[in-house]
Amino acid sequence: MSLPVIPAPAHLTLSDNTFTLTSSSGVTAESPELTELAARFVADVQLDCGLTLTGNTGITLALESPQADDVPAAAGVRADGEPVDERHGLEITTEGIRIWGATPEAVYRGLTSLRQLISARLQDAAAVLPAARIVDGPRFAWRGLSLDVVRTFHGPDEVRRIIDMLSLYKLNVLHLHLTDDQGWRVEVPSRPLLTEVGATGAIGDRPGGYYTQAELAELVQYAADRYVTVVPEIDMPGHTSAVFKAYPSLGPDEIHSVDLGNGDSLQLNTLDPGRDETWTFVEEVLDAVIPQFPQSAYVHIGGDETWGMADEDHAAFVEKAAALVRARGKKVVGWQEIARASLDAEDVVQFWLDLDVDSMVQNPDLPTPPEDLLPILVEGLRKAKYDAPKALEQGTKLIVSPVTWLYFDRPHADASSDPDQEEARKHLGLEFYGAASIEHGVSWDPVDSIPGIDSADQVAGVEAAIWCESITTPEDLELMLLPRLPGAAEKAWSRPGTDWPTYAARLAQQSPTWRNRTWTWLHSTEVNWT
């Protein structure tokens, strides 16, 4: 027996009794610290399913130890650096509903399960809920989505919609990829040209843009109110062409790029760790960006794909940039290539490259990159095999973000039941990754399926990634995120062993909420949507 809740709870018992929630029901918070959550819940239920809760009975919230000894504490690290316990209890009896946890965040997670239940069961302005007892808590502490806001700029309204999706599935990190070759999306007051010049572009002729400090403050608060921490990424020393466009003196004498033939190009230019000017710049950027993300205990320094840069230069850059982050009281996270440098055990390495480049090159079904690029790519990618072992040897933990399982810019393999969507989705995703189905997205495990990882203690967390080379509109972005995102949440929160038919049934019951929220999702023919 299961309930239409994603991620699957750790412990669930059901009975034949029911409790009926109607618009005259409501929430009582037993502690003042929970009053705000109660109000947020009422607002969310309204948006999820249209039910307006006007009373104050039926649902009770309490700050009390969850007695969840049989749910192990989460593995990994928290992006906000706080030792918050998210374990909670949720009980539905014929008398009413009670949710309890040791922290407001734990209670919020329980309320989130309840939101899903209500939305799935609402009929004729009443939700008949099965009597049940849930004791739950996450498997991993860092559960996120990395969002590329550079290749296509997604404005604050769209980012808020994504934050709503994350929190509905108990994901707690929004990693914003704020800088890349095609644009710079965050204000650095001492370097006005980063936004005046660097922000103007995106891929091809897509509009550029950036978040003002006021907009970011609002976004970060919007996320914090939903227990999502926004982690900023400043990608360096590669992926920095937007910096060189704004401040050419920071760049190489000659810009090297390879045309990819699809309106985009691959940039081979990097910041130079040997120049003082580079470090003045990096310090100014960190000093301006860090205060804009007060909840984040981490700064993501990128470090990926420094094509053609000498290994020693890359390592020197990473080590110095990491030291500057730590000197500002923050911890370091970076793409897996940073493991080639010397790291601290507190740093976190984001593992993404689980592709076997040699077999990709030989696969006739995949497009071949331009000839002058091939050797650079192959050489760079071959080294990737050693990154995870190097990170673990240094005692750092890994954020699990493998292309195979968690890159949402892979094309959808499964068809849509809607012919319009079927046409649209064909252009979405990067062809060379190959397509992936929804079932594929839950048929793996963040420990067992990752070469080199053999215990949950080595995992900092689980993070999906969506890159936007092929994604231009909010609708397309949502179509690639849904229905995949709940699957990533299931992997990050629930214990191993997702059974596809049961999962598909739980997934099917999410669609009423998505419809009410006006989120676009792939009407995948793998699932019998309700």
* Sites of contact with ligand TNX (CB under 6 A): 304-305, 335, 352, 407, 409, 430, 467, 469
CB of 320 to ligand TNX, least distance (A): 20
52 token code pair: 């307006």
CA dihedral (306, 309, 310, 312) positive or negative:
negative
Reduce the secondary structure of 186-240 to three states and give it as a string: ECCCCCCHHHHCCCCCCCCCCCCCCECHHHHHHHHHHHHHCCCEEEEEEEECCCC
Catalytic residue flag (residue 337): no
The CA angle 435-438-443, to the nearest 5 degrees, is 100
CB of 352 to ligand TNX, least distance (A): 5
227 token code pair: 């227990």
CB of 469 to ligand TNX, least distance (A): 6
CB of 251 to ligand TNX, least distance (A): 18
User: Which one, 179 or 416, has the nearer CB to ligand TNX?
Assistant: 179
User: Which one, 317 or 467, has the nearer CB to ligand TNX?
Assistant: 467
User: Which one, 50 or 204, has the nearer CB to ligand TNX?
Assistant: 204
Residues 6+ apart with CB under 8 A from 529: 417, 508, 511, 523
User: Which one, 139 or 425, has the nearer CB to ligand TNX?
Assistant: 425
User: Which one, 405 or 467, has the nearer CB to ligand TNX?
Assistant: 467
CB of 272 to ligand TNX, least distance (A): 20
The three-state secondary structure class of 381 is helix
Q: Are 432 and 367 in contact (CB under 8 A)?
A: yes
d(CA 44, CA 118): 11
Amino acid found at 380? G
- Give the number of other Cβ atoms within 10 Å of residue 265's Cβ: 16
- Closest listed residue to residue 490, CA positions, set 140, 115, 107: 140
Q: Which of 158, 187, 233, 305 is catalytic?
A: 305
- Closest listed residue to residue 100, CA positions, set 6, 28, 44: 28
User: Which one, 34 or 466, has the nearer CB to ligand TNX?
Assistant: 466
d(CA 204, CA 470): 11
Q: Burial level of 90, CB count in 10 A (0-12/13-18/19+)?
A: buried
**Strand pairing report for 459-466 and 142-148:** parallel
Residues 6+ apart with CB under 8 A from 332: 298, 299, 301, 322, 325, 326, 338, 343, 344, 346, 347, 348
Q: Are 178 and 233 in contact (CB under 8 A)?
A: yes
CB of 483 to ligand TNX, least distance (A): 20
Q: Are 173 and 463 in contact (CB under 8 A)?
A: yes
CB of 150 to ligand TNX, least distance (A): 9
d(CA 227, CA 309): 39
CB of 359 to ligand TNX, least distance (A): 18
CB of 214 to ligand TNX, least distance (A): 28
For helices 156-168 and 213-225, give the axis angle rounded to 10 degrees.
20
User: Which one, 187 or 304, has the nearer CB to ligand TNX?
Assistant: 304
CA dihedral (222, 75, 323, 151) positive or negative:
negative
User: Which one, 21 or 145, has the nearer CB to ligand TNX?
Assistant: 145
Provide the CB-side half-sphere exposure for 26 (13 A, CA).
12
List the catalytic residues. Answer: 305
